Chain A
Amino acid sequence: MQSGISFLPEQASTLAPRVDNLYFFIVAVTAFFALLVTVLVVYFAFKYHTDDPYAVGAPIHGSIPLELFWTAVPFVIAIFIFAWSTNVYFDIVRPPDQAMQVYSVGKRWMWKFQHPSGQREINELHVPVGRPVKVTFTSEDVLHDLFIPAFRVKADAIPGRYSTIWFTATQTGEYHLFCAEYCGTKHAGMIGRVIVMEETAYQAWLDTSQESSLAAQGQALYESLSCQSCHLNDGNGRGPALHGLFGSEVQLANGTTATVDEGYLRESILNSQMRVVAGYNPIMPTFQGLVDEDGMVGLIEYIKSLRTGPSSEGASASLPAEAGEPE
């Protein structure tokens, strides 16, 4: 982490220089206008200064061309900044498809992280350098916000739904991680570190875990909740088959479609009546209270792992050997 006085946080992600370049451009534009107006008003104050209270100024009322000019110029500049910044923003909010997945839950006052391999950590996030990482997270209580200044990313953790941030770290090291949305007493203590490691060191770190993978944990929960009794693999069950479902587009009973992502799965497990797949009855019970946030990410990872199409072997959905990180 940094010491001394500096004016920029470290640029430690691929997004950071892009955000900073935009920042510098806006600094230049705003500094220009600030200086322009400052120089003019100060110059006028000296040039036209008088101590005679009866003196009057020149009878100037205005100028339509000038008004149009100084309406149009800021407008054009604003459009330019808008286009540039929106472009950067869409890259900030859209994780690349091949990003490796990490899950997180914010609760007063700590951040829990879970890696698909099963590794868990609190207020620390280990990631490899040079690989896109997507953090999917929610909150167990009030609003929080996952903020990593060195990566220039931030998003609110909102109870009841998933948010994401993503980044590709560009240099190894330790970086601040903050909760940026006020959450009560120890808000300022809801902080941690992101530890960016070389790939080999990261793999070694992953191997220190004794935990089974999230998908395996998810499968255990899946079976204990008897999900497979309705979600038959051949598609003839009372609920849709789950093989190959993740990432696909499904036709809904209400006539619209939905992309099956983390948010859709979460909603369907907790509140299945919201968006029922066409051809199925809205009979799935809610699992609110039966599936906590940790269980939820297990189920999601398990469903994600069911990559192959419906198998003919019936309900014996077994976990693919290389569960975890889809590459």
Chain B
Amino acid sequence: MIELKGVSRRFGEVLAVNAISLVVETGEVCVLVGSSGCGKSTTLRMINRLLPSTAGEILVDGKNVCDTDLQTLRLNMGYVIQGTGLFPHWTVARNIGLVPGLLKWPEARIRERVDELLQLLGLDQEGFVDKYPHQLSGGQAQRVGVARALAADPNILLMDEPFGALDAITRETLQNEMLRIKQQLGKTTVFVTHDIDEALRLADRIAVMDQGRLIQYDAPEAILRRPASLFVETLVGSQDRGLKMTGLQRVGDAMQRHLHPRPRDLDKPGVREHETLRQALSLMLWQGTESLPVMDEDGAEIGIISRAQIWAGGH
């Protein structure tokens, strides 16, 4: 659990972060979102004390970070930044093994851990560990960055616009990866982005910031439904709020479930359980139908989703 209590940071005349208070529960993903220069990175960097705070206190699992040994604090927090920050003179393996190495794990255990992480991030190709960062694609490098942050199994993950420099398609793949890792590992995460859609996708709770202040701290759905101010409303885009809402909900939660799975009618297009209502809606619009069959992972039809159900979910 991470608690910020009235935390501020001043750079000369500029009050970059202004009395922010928020709580990130254990296992939750908190996304800091706001326009560039609003103080997101500064807030994040105060959590691992890359910057000292000028006022307020930050507690991790109930303990003030200023009372924790700097090294110990940081070694227990994975840190991922934009443009990866991978060391260009080290191989993938050495980069990932950085923190375990600092923690003096035995060689064999580090090697094992590196393999495990590469598998987790879908990078387990032959010879990949011996590559240098400049030989990787942007997406691969960023995955290695995430693997490096996870290497010593830290309790907390801090990520500063990690996917900011990637193209749209790669970014989406990595966001999906994040969701999977979140489900698998359940790390307490603070994630910084300026992209509200990324925030809506990944967050358990969103912290909207503006000019150093925390404007609203709420679940994605609440942010969409009840924006606290005009600023938040503009940020989430008042026009397509409804559509964004459907993007937050899973087909599986809104559909009408069959009593028994049925064999699938192959001619009819369908959606999967874990896909969003937004995807279902889009398919309906395209097909001109009122309802779609829902499949499970094996392809059996397990239910049906109709327009009315999407409508009900969207409100």
- The answer on A and B forming one complex is no
> Measuring CB to CB, which residues of chain A are less than 8 angstroms from any residue of chain B?
none
